[in-house]
Amino acid sequence: MSGVQARWRVRFFGQVQHVGFRYTALYFARKAYLTGWVKNLSDGSVLLEAQGGTAQLRKFLIQLKSQPHIHIEKMDITVLPLQPYERGFQVKTA
């Protein structure tokens, strides 16, 4: 990780469930050495928290948006406090 560290909560709207979104996010997050988690919400949106360098976070979101099977219509991003002891990135099921 390099640069300024940040933690973002991102809520994704659009065709983001039943398209492999969570496991695509897991793959790109681990590749970028981000920590955090991703989960489906009951309203059809997906909620994600990711932490790492701001450049890596931006690239991560661009990678997700560029996937042909994922159609993100809207993203709500909130900046959160860092969680310094968090390790790894996971898919939450509940």
Residues marked as catalytic: 22, 40
The C-alpha atoms of residue 71 and residue 67 are separated, in whole angstroms, by: 8
Q: Are strands 46-53 and 35-40 parallel, antiparallel or unpaired?
A: antiparallel
Residue 46 near residue 29, CB atoms below 8 Å: no
Phi, psi of 75 (to 5 degrees): -130, 130
